Amino acid sequence: MPETKKAAISAQQVKELRERTGAGWMDCKAALGETGGEVEQAIAWLRKKGIAKAQRKAGRTTREGAVGSYVHAGNKIGVLVELNCESDFVARTDEFKQLVHDLAMHIAAAEPRFVTREEVTPEVLNKEREIYQEQARASGKPDPVVERIVVGKLEKFYEENCLYEQHFIRDDKHTIKELIAAAITKLGENMTVRRFARFKLGEPTMAAEAAAEPAKSGQA
């Protein structure tokens, strides 16, 4: 591996790249990591991924779109997903419809719990953090190392549980966020997944699980 690839990425480099491209912090950090901290190369990397252009459109209102569905073979798993865009014209294109279908199929297979990391509730995050801290401390690691381990495991949690950060099941070189960014670049409109629902035969509903919690507490 070239020496430049090993260079530490500073917060200032990430800040500069964000200001020049409008891309998110994690995307900029990833781009700089892939290019050894070279800002110009990182800009090109983001453009190839479609992220830089997509971020410039991110503030646009998305009030059109479509609700797509997917039922897995055997009729045991079904998904509904709402993908929004800016115009009904784009919502009717074959590319948009294909993206909705791909997202629904991915959700059926990958089982995300949230759309983005920002949707992860503090309760869930705190619970995961406590688990990771206990695991790391049980192995005898000092506190500074424990914190680094926790941060790394939380990133892995986001990757596994947040739709936008999961790797697309049909092309694991790209995340769902990058898949959507590429569609934004191609069709010229902002797009966002607003919500999704995944159904598996026999699974309890969220309402049933919530109702069961007081009973569990009473038995404790």
* pLDDT higher at 203 or 65: 65
Are 72 and 46 part of one and the same domain?
no
Enclosing domain of residue 15: 3-56
Residue 220 domain flag:
no
CA end-to-end span of the chain: 55
Q: Which residues contact 160 (CB under 8 A, 6 or more apart)?
A: 166
Are 74 and 20 part of one and the same domain?
no
pLDDT at 15: 81
Most confident of 10-19, 23-32, 56-65, 91-100: 91-100
Mean pLDDT of 51-72: 77
pLDDT tens for residues 90-105?
999 999 999 999 999 9
pLDDT at 12: 84
Residue 213 domain flag:
no
- The widest CA-to-CA distance across the chain, in whole angstroms, is 60
Are 87 and 104 part of one and the same domain?
yes
Predicted structure pTM score = 0.68
Are 118 and 145 part of one and the same domain?
yes
In this structure, what DSSP letter does residue 67 have?
E
Are 29 and 94 part of one and the same domain?
no
Mean pLDDT of 115-139: 91
Q: Which residues contact 220 (CB under 8 A, 6 or more apart)?
A: none
Residue 95 domain flag:
yes
Distance CA 26, CA 157 (A): 15
Are 21 and 111 part of one and the same domain?
no
pLDDT tens for residues 108-118?
999 999 999 99
pLDDT at 30: 85
Please report which confidence band the pLDDT of residue 5 belongs to, taking 50, 70 and 90 as the band edges: very low
Mean pLDDT of 197-204: 89
Q: pLDDT at residue 68 above 50?
A: yes
CATH number at residue 34: 1.10.8.10
Are 121 and 171 part of one and the same domain?
yes
Tally of domains in the chain: 2
